[in-house]
Amino acid sequence: MTALLASVACALTACASTAEKEPPKVASFKSEAAAPSPSAANGPPVIRVDMTNAEEEALFSVYLKCLHDNGVPMTQQADGTWMWAGAESKIQSDTPKIKKACDNMLPQQAPEKAAATNPYYEEDNDKFWQCLKDHGDDVNKGADGWSPGPKWGEFPNAEAVTEQCEVRSFNGKKG
């Protein structure tokens, strides 16, 4: 019985000897899985509510450079960012070929700032505009919602205050 078990064990393990065996002669190649690109793995970049204008511009610049690299007329600024080169460039960017090449780089609005994905959007949006008004911005609430006045955005620290109001208002929480 012991001999039978030993022969079965030997058959199952191929009775490897202590001497090194030569590797089998088979065609093989070693491949390392390439890490997927961020855009392919995670979809388009999302503009977070706590991003600065400079950070948002950097996201859009990547998209605009993609448009340029795919033949859409664009203008490169002194700081290296890209801008539309007029209405024609916007029209050309709306073709299937360009969309396929670059839409995965087009920054998307944060889910907190979209009515379709934020159940508290109306309340958050109201808080945002009220925050701007409280900090001196020329905005007014009417029957149809908020509207900017003639001096909208012209108040001390407008960019910083606007960013703070967004973060406070569009936090994804009720109230």
The string of DSSP codes covering 9-48 is HHHHHTT--SSPPPPP--------PPPPPHHHHH-S-EE-
Q: Which residues are 5's β-sheet partners?
A: none
Helix (H) or strand (E) holding 69: helix 53-69
The predicted structure's pLDDT at residue 175: 60
pTM of the model: 0.60
The predicted structure's pLDDT at residue 23: 44
The predicted structure's pLDDT at residue 83: 86
Tokens 């022969």, residue located: 7
More reliable by pLDDT, 66 or 32: 66
CA dist 83 to 3, 105, 142, 155, Å?
A: 81, 15, 35, 26
pLDDT more than 70, % of the chain: 75
